[in-house]
């Protein structure tokens, strides 16, 4: 596999990371199969496989599976256990049925054995399923992945259009965003680079920035910036989630001030990260 271009399958293929990854892989002349619940227009030379349940797929011809199915918010129809954990278990079973040796998984920066955050717990459970699966794995614990139409960009753009950007709390908590193109490079590297085999690596950019400074740099139109108490932000997220600018777990992750050293990622992958 190291001497030839891999054949790669992608779950969660229509999301922000999935869509950009597929486009990147096709541009690199990599054979790609996108796995989608709904009919999706494939890129040129890409195969699309529509499924109702991952359990129904068999004989998937691929060298590696990039598993991107996940949710960052819970509803009564879609909770962390059924999406982040159960779908990972199904992805592992799909790999075994199809004799796929490699799985690449996007987890979250801040996931650890002592976490009490529900979202992180679900990601930790998914990680452990993969680690104990017997598959060759690479788990990336990702910071904010940014690029055109990423979720944070969409949120801030919507706020700018309203005329006011809201900063919960002090805004001094830090982000360590990584560019989507670098993420795509890392995922591809993980499918062939033995240095990334059976590793958990923080997927972070080379620079940290406070949330307030990030907002101020993003705010090209000079919309009003308003700070609100964290208690108020949490109260709205809990009691009026449809009107909340940030969800409960979004706030907890944001103010968690999760940062890491990017040099390990660069050293293992051999890829120089670009500054945002």
Domain hosting residue 50, numbered range: 7-146+176-205+259-269
Task: Specify if 191 maps to a domain.
Answer: yes
Specify the pTM.
0.94
Alpha carbon 187 to its chain's center: 11
Kindly report, residue by residue over 170-217, the tens digit of the pLDDT: 999 999 999 999 999 999 999 999 999 999 999 999 999 999 999 999
Q: What is the CA radius of gyration of the chain?
A: 19
Task: Specify if 221 maps to a domain.
Answer: no
Task: Specify if 246 maps to a domain.
Answer: no
Task: Specify if 224 maps to a domain.
Answer: no
Sequential pLDDT tens for the chain (276 residues): 445 789 999 999 999 999 999 999 999 999 999 999 887 788 888 999 888 899 989 889 999 999 999 999 888 888 999 999 999 999 999 999 999 999 999 999 999 999 999 999 999 999 999 999 999 999 999 999 999 999 999 999 999 999 999 999 999 999 999 999 999 999 999 999 999 999 999 999 999 999 999 999 999 988 999 999 999 999 999 999 989 999 999 999 999 999 999 999 999 999 999 998
CATH code at position 58 = 3.40.50.720
Task: Specify if 101 maps to a domain.
Answer: yes
**CA dihedral sign of residues 102, 82, 123, 184:** positive
SS3 85: helix
Task: Specify if 135 maps to a domain.
Answer: yes
Task: Specify if 130 maps to a domain.
Answer: yes
Name the domain count of the chain: 1
Backbone φ and ψ for 65, nearest 5 degrees, come out as -115, 125
Task: Specify if 168 maps to a domain.
Answer: no
């Amino acid at each position: 596999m190291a001497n030839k271009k891999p054949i790669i399958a992608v779950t969660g293929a229509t999301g922000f990371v999935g869509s950009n990854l597929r486009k990147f892989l096709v541009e690199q002349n990599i054979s790609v199969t996108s796995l989608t619940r709904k009919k999706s227009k494939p890129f040129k030379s890409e195969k699309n496989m529509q499924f109702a349940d991952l359990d129904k797929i068999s004989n998937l011809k691929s060298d590696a599976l990039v598993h991107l199915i996940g949710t960052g918010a819970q509803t009564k129809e879609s909770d962390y256990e059924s999406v982040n954990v159960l779908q990972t278990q199904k992805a592992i079973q799909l790999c075994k049925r199809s004799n796929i040796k490699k799985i690449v998984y996007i987890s979250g920066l801040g996931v650890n054995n002592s976490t009490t955050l529900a979202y992180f717990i679900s990601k930790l459970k998914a990680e452990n399923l993969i680690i104990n699966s017997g598959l060759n794995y690479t788990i990336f614990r990702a910071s904010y992945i940014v690029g055109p139409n990423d979720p944070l960009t969409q949120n801030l753009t919507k706020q700018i259009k309203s005329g006011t950007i809201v900063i919960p709390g002090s805004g001094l908590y830090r982000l360590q965003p990584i560019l989507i193109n670098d993420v795509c490079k890392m995922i591809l590297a993980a499918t062939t680079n033995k240095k990334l085999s059976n590793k958990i690596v923080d997927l972070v950019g080379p620079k940290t920035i406070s949330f307030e400074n990030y907002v101020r740099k993003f705010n090209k139109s000079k919309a009003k910036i308003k700070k609100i108490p964290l208690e108020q932000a949490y109260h709205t997220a809990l009691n009026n989630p449809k009107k909340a600018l940030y969800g409960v777990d979004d706030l907890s992750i944001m103010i968690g001030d999760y940062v890491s050293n990017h040099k390990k990622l660069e050293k293992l992958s051999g890829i120089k990260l670009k500054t945002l």
